Amino acid sequence: MFLKLSSNMSIATAENAWIDTTDSRNPEVLSQARQIIETTIYCSLSTCTPDGFPWATPVFFTFDQDLNLYWSSAVVAKHSQNIYQNHGRLAVAIYSTDKAEGKGKGVYFTGVADELEPERVSTVMESLFRRAGGEAPNRTAQDYLPPSPRRMYKFTPEAAWITGQRIPMGNQLIDPKIQLDLTALRQWEAE
């Protein structure tokens, strides 16, 4: 049974693929999502070739106030080529791997990625190295511009989810997702 709470809100059910939209703007949920993004330094990029072959790649990332994600990769890397060949479409998962089974939470995005504009490479490069902690390597923006084999990439999220509370179903546990209001998530600041 699909339980509707308003014209566009529903709790997680099998009929809606276990997606909860009732907590999309819940301050506690938004805070959990921001904490995951801010404290986790690796994400997994999920790309696909135009003919449907999937590929997942972990990358070290940084982000800005609009939750655009940034990373550097080789142009010829499989995930980079998939971005170029598939109109930039990809999914991103940010999650910690140090939690016990059933205790972890993740933030999930879908959106588009492309090479970062050349005039922004220096600023993003500094943010990436700052997030890495330690000393910045001896690199310049030119190390991420043609003819270099590496580029900086920017991912712009179009939709977001977070892991919800597990739902008991018989002797099984269902892992629902809470669809987040992306505008609220972008504007969220802990009080």
Lookup: tokens for 170: 């018989």
Tokens representing 94 are 């940010």
Three-state secondary-structure class, residue 80: helix
d(CA 129, CA 155): 18
What is the per-residue pLDDT for 8?
65
Tokens at 109, concatenated: 């995005």
Dump the DSSP string for 126-161: HHHHHHH-SPPPS--GGGGSTTSSEEEEEEEEEEEE
Identity of the amino acid at 127: S
- What are the pLDDT tens digits along the chain (191 aa)? 333 344 466 787 778 777 888 899 999 999 999 999 999 999 999 999 999 999 999 999 999 999 999 999 999 999 999 999 999 999 999 997 777 676 678 999 999 999 999 999 999 999 999 998 866 678 899 999 999 999 999 999 999 999 988 888 889 888 889 999 999 999 976 44
Q: What is the pLDDT of residues 4-23, one digit of tens each?
A: 344 466 787 778 777 888 89
